[in-house]
Amino acid sequence: MKIIDLSKPIQYNKKDPWFMKVRIQHKPHRKSKLLIRFLGLPSRLFPQHFSGWADDTIKSMGVHATTHIDAPWHYAPTCEGKPAKTIDQIPLEWCYGKGIVIDMKHKADFDAITTEDIQSFLTQHQLTLEPNMIVLIKTGRDIYNGTEKFHEIGTGMSAEATRWLIDQGIKVMGIDQWGWDLPLHYLIKQAKKENNRDLFWEAHLVGYEKEYCHIEQLVNLDALPYTGFDIAVFPLKIVGGSAAPARVVALFKD
């Protein structure tokens, strides 16, 4: 089996904005020797070649800071008139299935991806969506990962395109840019400019009326064909969480 990693590394990056900063303290092997002696084992009884154990502490990391999957609870407290699922309540069956890549690299920054865009791509390449597929939207903006403008640029899904995917039986979808919608600062600017309350976070808010999850900050989608692989996107089981980091991988069976 061939496995391709679609997750970004979890590490400190000084160019990340404050809300994406990850800080991890790496503790060297020798530190644990002091703990072991404190617990009562004299150093003369340390096993031969024992240098202690390494340890690490995540000092700070938001659940949306790296490659992650959003739960319906992130979008709104209710979904389809019921309490929205938190990340630990997401059925694991949603998190594994056939994958398909929708190539939208041609879309300009701040130009939303429409239903017509997706349908045209599927028709052109003679592809068909199946219920419970995991749909990956390739924008190519993962090349800006780790730069100061990563969260400020990109295309993004429209509400109607998101709604259309859900109506095809898609429960989990993902994108290789900072967010699922058009960039946040752009949406704020446009909502104020047009005095339109329906513009801001429109694709996310589809999750208030239709249940679905999306993955953000994927990487390496260029390494995938359009079909012929499975996707695994199992989130950390954070009780009550709005999202969770996930190791997203594509699997090619022999």
In the chain, what are the domain boundaries? 23-60, 68-252
Whether residue 37 is predicted with pLDDT greater than 90 in this model: the reply is no
Residues 6+ apart with CB under 8 A from 99: 133, 134, 135, 136, 224, 227, 229, 230, 231, 250
pLDDT for residue 49 is more than 90: no
pTM for the structure as a whole: 0.95
Please give the CATH superfamily to which domain 68-252 belongs. Putative cyclase (3.50.30.50)
Q: What is the per-residue pLDDT for 124?
A: 98
Q: 41-50, 95-104, 149-158, 242-251 — which is least confidently predicted?
A: 41-50
**Residue 169: helix, strand or coil by DSSP?**
coil
Query: What's the average model confidence in pLDDT over 41-62?
Result: 91
With a pLDDT cut of 90, the percent of the chain lying above it is 90
Tell me the pLDDT tens digit for each residue of 204-233: 999 999 999 999 999 999 999 999 999 999
As a whole number of angstroms, the distance between CA 215 and CA 232 comes to 11
CA distances to 77, 127, 239 from 164, rounded to whole Å, are: 22, 16, 30
The pLDDT assigned to 102 comes to 98
